[in-house]
Amino acid sequence: MPQPSAPLALQGGSPVRTRPFPSVGSAAGRTLGDEEVAAVTRVIRSGQLNSTVGTETADLEREFAQYYGMPHAVASSSGTAALHLAVAAVDPDPGDEIITTGLSDAGTVLPILAQNAVPVFADVDPLTGNLDPAAVRALITPRTKAIIVVHLFGVPAPVAELRAIADAHGLLLIEDCAQAYLTRCAPDGALAGTVGHLGCFSLQQSKHITAGDGGLTITADPALARRARLFADKAWPRDTDERTHLFLGLNYRMTELQAAVARAQLGKLAGVVEDRRKSAEILTEAVAPLAGLTAALAAGTAYWQFPVFVDEAVAGSNGHRYGEALRAEGIPANGGYIQRPLYLTPLFTEQRTYGMSGYPLTLATAPSYAEGLCPRTEQLITGGGLLVISWNERYTADDVADIAAALRKVHAAFTS
């Protein structure tokens, strides 16, 4: 006979966990230590806080490029900036289209609009949340200039397929790796960020490594690298001694303080990813017997978060209810990741871009950004298909055991 399930904390039962977990919002869940303190002190004592006079940013760029086995890395002020550098390097004409996903941080799409290009949203794979290559292919038009793929939660996206599609159509592939440091991609284990023409990373507080904010763009193409570098520095070719501006650029420079912290963090990155993977393996095993719940199964996942794909008909409830019940049990989790697909935010639905113009979303060729545009994306975000469990390199075996116990408890209650 099945045991009657324990009363959920949501319904007044006692929670599985009362102590807080290590989280990315505080020192307990970050790897910031003496190395970063020394780095910041070194920069301040040097009196050189700006990358145009100091050496830290150039050193970080060299070290990051080497780390990824790429010839070029360009530092910037945020992950969004890193993506803006990439889009600016692609240099679309106004009205050109860039295909991307509606299931991501807004930083993925804002740079497209900032360059007056049109975001075209392709649907995702329901068991990874990553772009579906067939959906991307179906949206290519003569106006398409590039694809921005996201390795969501650090789960490898099908970049080999997307690169083949890009090459066949003369498009550039940009990889958004903000959540995907050291993610390994099929079929050969290539690092995420090195398969596309450009790879973009974030050093924001919540990522695997952080400098508060910051970004890095990598590429093998010297022309793309030069354009990205110029774009981040007012298109001022400082290497020529001429104070001039070669095209429309901005100031997206990283400070020496950020770069020094990022260099110290880079030394810890492999350990951070290793620790996240080890504890994620344990939870993956715990999720396997829970009918209707599927953990990310791809090898090479970097576990920015721990996504669980929810089949409501079998799991007894949806990702939102699971998230709510887990939070009551003391487990940091949420349903859907973001509240609505990016294309259903006022930026798109009310065309809030440049003054009253609505440009470029008012172009006759622009898609209509409305519910139903990407049904599988919507199923994951608002339809309950996705449960996201917060993840951290500092989780102990006991932490993971508590998460597994809470998941079993909630699953038992929802399926009884």
Distances (CA, A) of 19 to 15, 16, 261, 398, 405: 10, 10, 30, 11, 15
Catalytic entry in 145, 207, 234, 409: 207
Task: Give me the least distance between CB of 88 and ligand PLP, in Å please.
Answer: 15
Closest CA to 303 of 395, 181, 386, 399: 181
CB 383 within 8 A of CB 113: no
Listed in order, strand segments (DSSP E) in 279-376 are 293-295, 305-310, 333-335
Nearer to ligand PLP, 83 or 140 (CB): 83
Task: Give me the least distance between CB of 55 and ligand PLP, in Å please.
Answer: 23
Structure tokens at 409: 């408890």
DSSP run (H or E) holding 82: helix 79-90
What whole-number distance in Å separates Cα of residue 351 and Cα of residue 362? 8
What whole-number distance in Å separates Cα of residue 72 and Cα of residue 222? 7
Is 145 considered catalytic here? no
Chain residues binding ligand PLP by CB under 6 A are 78-80, 104-105, 107-108, 150, 176, 178-179, 202, 204, 213, 215
What whole-number distance in Å separates Cα of residue 288 and Cα of residue 407? 11
What whole-number distance in Å separates Cα of residue 411 and Cα of residue 316? 8
What whole-number distance in Å separates Cα of residue 185 and Cα of residue 298? 9
CB 208 within 8 A of CB 304: yes
Query: Looking at the annotation, which residues are catalytic?
Result: 207
